[in-house]
Structure 1
C-alpha cells in the first residue's frame, strides 16, 4: 500500500472495506493518525501500514485517545472529536471550539440521517441535522426520538436558513412550488439517501402525492449542495433541492420554500460534559454569531437556544 504517499478518508475506507464512519472513529480514538490539507483529512501510507500491521501482531493493544503534546515543561492533552455535517458553519464552529478547549475538531462530511445513526453507534460527538418531518412539520426532533432511543441528549440550534429549489438563471420553466416537480419537462438532480435535502424532497413529494417514479432524474444523486447547484448551472439538470447560500456562489436562481432549523445534537454523558459546555459557550458568543452572520443567508436569532433536552 506504499505506492501512494497518502490517502483520503474515502480511499482508506475502500482499502480496508469498511465505512468512512469507521475510519473517522479510528481517527477520533487516536488509533489512525491524520494530517490536514485544507479542509480534507489525509492518512499517510506508512501510518496506514503501521496500523494494519499492529492489528495483525497485537489486536488487543490500543493507542490512547488523548494526543499528548509536550511543550518545554508543560504537558497538554488534546482530545479528538468528530463533527458531522457539511455546512461551512461547522468549520467555523470547530475552529472556535479549538480556541479555548482541549478538543481538536475533525470533520465528517456525512448527511444528517447517517450521521445520527453513527452517533447512536458511538462514532460521532457532534451531529448537525436538518431533517423535515412531513407529518408534524417539525425539524429534527421526530427523527432523534426514534433513533437515539435510550440515550440522554441535548439539541441546540446552530442557525436557521432558507431551503428550496435551485433553478436555472431566469427560471425558464417557471417553477414556483414542490407540486411543479411532476411536470414532464423537468429534469431533477437529487441528493444522496440520508441527507437532509433528500429527506426534505421525499417528504414534500409524499405530502403532494407525487410518486418519485414520475420524477425525471430522481436517481441522479450528488453528495453536496454545491454539486447539485453546479449540475443545474451546467444544464445537466434544471432543478434541485438546496440552501440559498450555495445558489449565490454558483450564480443560479433560488426559489425559497421553507425555513429550516439547522441544529446540533450531542449525547449527555459524563465524558461529554466539558464538550457540551464548550459548544454552548461558542454558540452564545458574539464573536461566533457575528462571524456566521457575516457570511450572509444565515439567521442566528435562535443560535445557542436549547431546542430539546432529556435527562
Structure 2
C-alpha cells in the first residue's frame, strides 16, 4: 500500500478541521485504525472514508459495532507522548507485557503534558527547567495538575546544551555568550523542554530574546535543530547530547537535565503505573538504555513526586 493512499495524523486533523489531539483520541479509543511507517502513524484512506461514512449515516450495523467496540482495559491502546528514543524502548516493553499496541505521539514536553491533562495520552514525558527553583519538572506538574492525582517518575538523566559547528569556530561556551558574541541561533518550539531551558536561562541572565538573531526561527525536534547547525543555516542551536552523535555537529554541555514521565493516578490506571515502575527497575531495560550511551540511569524508576 503506497503512502499516497494514506494520511498522517496532521493531515487527517487538517482534513476534518479538528486538532491532532482529537485524532489521537479517536485512535486511542479504537474508532480510527492506524498503521505505522517507522515512527510515524498513518491512517489508511479507506479507513478514514469508513469513519466519515459511519458518522454521516448515524448508524452502525451490530456486527460493525462489535468490531470497533472499545477494547477491555487490559487490551486498550496506550499512547506515550515524547520524542526520546528511550520511550520507544519503554513502549516495546509495555507491549510485550500487555500483548497490545502502544502508540507513540512525538509531542514536546508541554504539549504532551497537556495532552495527558485532557485525557489524550496515557504517559507524558517532560524535561522542563524551572529557573526559580533550579529543579526540573516537579514545579510545572504541581501547577498543571492542581486537584489531580499523579505520579512523576524518572526515566533518565541526560546532558543538554548547545549544538555548534564542527570545531566550535565561534568558541561558544555558555549562555553568557548571547551577550558578548554575534551568531545566528536556531530555536525549538514554544513549550518544548529545550525552549523552556533556554527561556529560563535568558531570564536568569537578563538577556532579551529580541537581541538574539534567529530566536524566532523554530524547529520541532532536536534532530531538526542539529541538522540546521550542521548545514550552516545557523551557528548555534539548543538540544540534547545524544542527537549530536548522529549529526555532524559538536556539542557543548551546559546542564544535566532530568527526563521524567508523568501518569495520572486513577484506580483503572494503577496497573499501568505498577507495570511502568516495574519495567524501569528491570535490569534488562536499564542495560538496554545504558547501552545507547549518553544516558544516566542511576535515578531510573525513582518516584520524583507523587500525590497522595
Q: Does 1:34 align with 2:34?
A: yes
What TM-score, normalized by structure 1, do the two folds share? 0.93
Which of 267, 276, 279 does residue 279 from structure 1 map onto? 276
The question of whether the paired residues in 1 share the 8 Å contact of 2:74 and 2:98 is answered with no
Q: Are 2:161 and 1:161 equivalent residues in the alignment?
A: no
Residue correspondences, number: 301
Q: What does the per-residue CA deviation read over 1:209-265, in whole Å, with 9 as the maximum and x for residues that have no partner?
A: 001100100111110001100000001101011001111110211111100000010
The answer to whether the aligner puts 1:229 opposite 2:234 as a matched pair is no
Report SS of the residue matched to 1:32. coil
Q: Is 1:66 the counterpart of 2:63 in the alignment?
A: no
| Inter-CA distance 272–60: structure 2 relative to 1 (3 Å threshold) | farther
Q: CA deviation at 1:32?
A: 0.5
Secondary structure of 1:228's aligned partner: helix
Per the alignment, do residues 183 and 13 of structure 1 end up closer, same or farther by CA in structure 2, a change over 3 Å counting? Answer: farther
Instruction: Quote the offset at 1:184 in angstroms.
Output: 5.5
Specify the alignment match of 1:11 in structure 2.
11
User: Where does residue 143 of structure 2 map in the other structure?
Assistant: 146
Q: Is 2:108–2:191's contact at 8 Å kept on the other side of the alignment?
A: yes
Q: Larger strand proportion, structure 1 or 2? A: 1
Q: CA deviation at 1:56?
A: 2.0
Aligned position for 1:46: 46
Whole-angstrom CA distance in 1 between matches of 2:69 and 2:99: 15
State the alpha-carbon separation in 2 of the partners of residues 7 and 65 from structure 1.
23
Structure 2 SS opposite 1:249: coil
1:99-146 CA distances to partner (integer Å, 9 max, x unpaired)?
112442100000100111111111110000100000011000111011
Among 236, 239, 243, the alignment partner of 1:242 is: 239
The alpha carbon displacement at 1:78 in A equals 2.2
The residue that corresponds to 1:174 in the other structure is 171
1:116 aligns with 2:121: no
Q: Is there any run of 5+ residues in structure 2 with no aligned partner, and where?
A: none
Return the TM-score normalized by structure 2: 0.94
What is the alpha-carbon distance in structure 2 between the residues aligned to residue 185 and residue 20 of structure 1?
38
| Structure 1 position 289, deviation (Å) | 0.4
What SS does the corresponding residue of 2:257 show, helix, strand or coil?
A: strand
Q: Contact 1:101 / 1:278 at 8 angstroms: preserved in 2? A: no
Aligned with 2:245: secondary structure?
helix
Q: 1:24 maps to what in 2? A: 24
8 Å CA contact retained: 2:54, 2:60: no
Query: Relative to 1, partners in 2 of residues 1:274 and 1:88: Cα closer, same or farther, differing over 3 Å?
Result: same
Equivalent positions of 1:81-92 (< 5 A) are 81-92=78-89
Structure 1, unaligned stretches of length 5 or more? Answer: 68-75
What CA distance in whole angstroms lies between the structure 2 residues aligned with 1:59 and 1:169? 61
Q: Deviations over 1:49-105 (max 9, x none)?
A: 1111222222899842218xxxxxxxx962101100000110000001111124421
Q: Helix, strand or coil: the match of 1:262?
A: strand
**Structure 1 residue 4 displacement after superposition:** 4.1
CA RMSD of aligned residues (A): 1.8
Summarize the Cα distance change of 1:301–1:50 in structure 2 as closer, same or farther, 3 Å threshold: same
Distance in 1 separating the partners of 2:199 and 2:86: 25
Q: Which has the higher helix share?
A: 2
**Residue 59 to residue 203, structure 1, CA distance change in 2 (3 Å):** farther
